[in-house]
């Protein structure tokens, strides 16, 4: 017996050693092959070799074969990467617009209480030079880079003012120095009451301090008489896991498990629990989600659902249950690498079963129950894994026509808002403001070049192109011509047909330019049918667990 046990133990040791040697050999083999290929290309390739470009392409392709979230970040991309993580940058705090290469830069949206706003820059002002360099011939991104810089440094603009001021007239060209600051883009974008008893908090990202922002918002709304809270995570792509844990900590008892991370490497298995005293464990809570709610948003909505602490309303979330860690690399590079999968308190992994095949909007789509597993919430409700968080009540957001998307993405609505600002010095307070001159917008948009085809017409054009390639168009010409005529609609008629869905976008863009970004959100809430429908849904049990 002892001899058998010894042989068995020795076999395990040798097999483990062999596996480790095999892994090391495979790694060493491919490093050697890779280096040999580069040396041979450098010596023999017919044209000059851009080693940096092909090496970057090779690294990107290698990481892309793993998952969409493991990426290499070289030194020159660190600032952009850090801005994505922290939502901050050094600059003047304004969104700019450059209509053409040889034109001036236009101040589009100065941020509230930003260096640009305090220096007197306002929507519609034209920047002629940046630190003495003409903006003519510069791309928009080049202008942005020159405006950004180390906080505390000064950037000087030559500005053509849209309107008169204390010491200048409309059209005057003046010098405007602006001291750059650390601009923090708010992750808690809006806090307010949507009716007499319902508080509303919009969270766009999980960056450093966002949980404290939600706490402050909650306390402010409680003082205003809030009886239930709506936490809006729609479109929130996630961020810091620690902030997600802190946010859940606000609403469930101390010591509750929020999320468990499980990885392969040593030390990658971790359990995260609430650490602080909650602000409220009983107030009714509604969490809004959609197909773009991902990662940290899914940690929050999943944990609150598992504890029956909130009613989750909307559409199935994105399905990103992977944890990324940052690892340093030579030459000041970084590797953002997937190190674990995370699991909700009930044991669900929200990672989509197959993240490489999704719907056009990035959502998970239908998953048969046969491919998923059943789990139980704190009060015995059944929930399933397999991809994202399935809401307790499905409420779909408004669908927009291809025309509306085209107007927004091509900048037509944005350009019209600038035109409106030039022609109107003031507008009523945001809650009283309604855009009424739609005929003027139709006239403006009708003169612009953009793709105004309906979805049906765009699909028809693609079908006809395919029929031409297949040599079938002539045989079906009469029927195709008749269908094309039926689908054809002139630009002005189509704009008038879609007035009701286009109008809110115009109002939002205009409101932002007079009353800053929060005013735009207030206009958006005015037309948010999904929010109103969500608040009509019955509540899940809110008894403290």
**The pair of three-digit structure tokens given for residue 386, joined into one six-digit string:** 């397999």
In the three-class reduction of DSSP (H, G, I as helix; E, B as strand; rest coil), residue 96 is classed as strand
**The pair of three-digit structure tokens given for residue 432, joined into one six-digit string:** 């009283």
User: What backbone phi and psi angles, to 5 degrees, belong to 81?
Assistant: -65, -45
Considering 187, 293, 295, 363, which one is annotated as catalytic? 295
DSSP assignment letter at 448: S
CB 349 within 8 A of CB 262: no
**The pair of three-digit structure tokens given for residue 257, joined into one six-digit string:** 């498990």
The number of CA neighbours under 13 Å toward the Cβ of 359 is 13
**The pair of three-digit structure tokens given for residue 223, joined into one six-digit string:** 């003082």
- The continuous run of DSSP H or E covering 446 comes out as helix 438-446
User: What backbone phi and psi angles, to 5 degrees, belong to 299?
Assistant: -65, -45
295 catalytic per annotation? yes
CB 207 within 8 A of CB 240: yes
Considering 125, 306, 385, 528, which one is annotated as catalytic? 306
| Cα gap 513→524, rounded to integer Å | 14
161 catalytic per annotation? no
227 catalytic per annotation? no
DSSP strand pairing (198-203 vs 188-193)? antiparallel
Considering 161, 205, 215, 320, which one is annotated as catalytic? 320
Residue 234: how many CB atoms within 10 A of its CB? Answer: 23
| Cα gap 452→487, rounded to integer Å | 12
- The continuous run of DSSP H or E covering 516 comes out as helix 499-526
DSSP strand pairing (393-394 vs 105-110)? unpaired
| Cα gap 144→130, rounded to integer Å | 10
CB 341 within 8 A of CB 316: no
| Cα gap 210→187, rounded to integer Å | 6
Residue 343 contacts by C-beta under 8 Å, 6 or more apart in sequence?
259, 260, 261, 262, 321, 349
CB 385 within 8 A of CB 373: yes
The number of CA neighbours under 13 Å toward the Cβ of 477 is 3
Residue 144: how many CB atoms within 10 A of its CB? Answer: 17
Burial class (CB in 10 A: 0-12, 13-18, 19+), 87: buried
Active site residues: 295, 306, 320
């Amino acid at each position: 017996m002892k001899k058998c046990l010894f042989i068995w133990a020795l076999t395990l040791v040798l097999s483990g050693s062999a596996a480790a040697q095999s892994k090391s050999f495979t790694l060493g083999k491919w490093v050697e092959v890779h280096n040999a290929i580069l040396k041979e290309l450098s010596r023999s390739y017919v044209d000059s070799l851009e080693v940096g470009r092909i090496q970057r392409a090779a690294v990107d392709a290698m990481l892309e074969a793993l998952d969409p979230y493991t990426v290499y970040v070289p030194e020159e991309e660190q600032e952009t990467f850090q801005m994505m993580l922290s939502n901050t940058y050094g600059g003047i705090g304004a969104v700019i617009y450059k209509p053409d290469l040889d034109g001036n830069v236009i101040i589009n949206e100065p941020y509230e209480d930003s260096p640009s706003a305090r220096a007197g820059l306002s929507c519609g002002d034209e920047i002629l030079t940046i630190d003495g360099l003409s903006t003519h011939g510069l791309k928009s991104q080049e202008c942005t880079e020159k405006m950004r810089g180390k906080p505390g440094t000064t950037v000087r603009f030559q500005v053509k003012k849209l309107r008169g001021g204390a010491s200048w007239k409309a059209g005057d060209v003046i010098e405007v120095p602006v001291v750059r600051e650390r601009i923090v883009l708010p992750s808690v974008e809006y806090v307010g009451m949507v009716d007499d008893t319902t508080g509303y908090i919009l969270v766009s990202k999980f960056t450093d301090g966002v949980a404290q922002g939600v706490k402050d918002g909650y306390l402010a709304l409680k003082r205003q008489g809030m009886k239930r809270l709506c936490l809006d995570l729609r479109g929130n792509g996630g961020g810091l896991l620690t902030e997600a844990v802190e946010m859940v900590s606000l609403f469930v008892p101390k010591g509750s498990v929020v999320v468990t991370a499980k990885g392969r490497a040593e030390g990658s298995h971790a359990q995260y629990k609430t650490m602080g005293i909650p602000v409220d464990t009983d107030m009714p809570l509604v969490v809004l989600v959609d197909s773009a709610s991902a990662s940290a948003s899914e940690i929050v909505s999943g944990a609150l659902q598992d504890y029956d602490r909130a009613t989750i309303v909307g559409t199935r979330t994105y399905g990103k249950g992977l944890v990324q860690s940052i690892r340093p690399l030579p030459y000041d590079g970084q590797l953002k690498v997937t190190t674990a999968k995370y699991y909700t308190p009930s044991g669900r992994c929200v990672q989509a079963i197959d993240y490489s095949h999704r719907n056009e909007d990035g959502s998970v789509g239908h998953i048969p129950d046969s491919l998923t597993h059943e789990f139980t919430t704190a009060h015995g409700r059944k929930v399933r894994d397999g991809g994202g968080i399935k809401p307790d009540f499905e409420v779909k957001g408004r669908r927009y026509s291809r025309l509306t998307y085209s107007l927004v993405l091509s900048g037509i609505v944005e350009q019209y808002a600038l035109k409106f600002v030039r022609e109107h010095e003031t507008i009523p307070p945001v809650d009283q403001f309604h855009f009424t001159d739609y005929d003027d917008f139709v006239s403006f948009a009708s003169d612009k070049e953009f793709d105004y085809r309906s979805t049906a017409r765009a699909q028809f054009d693609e079908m006809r192109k395919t029929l031409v390639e297949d040599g079938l168009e002539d045989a079906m010409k009469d029927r195709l011509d008749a269908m094309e005529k039926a689908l054809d609609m002139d630009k002005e008629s189509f704009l008038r047909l879609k007035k009701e869905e286009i109008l809110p976008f115009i109002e939002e863009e205009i409101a932002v330019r007079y009353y800053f970004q929060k005013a735009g959100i207030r206009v958006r809430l005015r037309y948010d049918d999904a929010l109103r429908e969500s608040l009509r849904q019955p509540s899940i049990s809110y008894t403290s667990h």
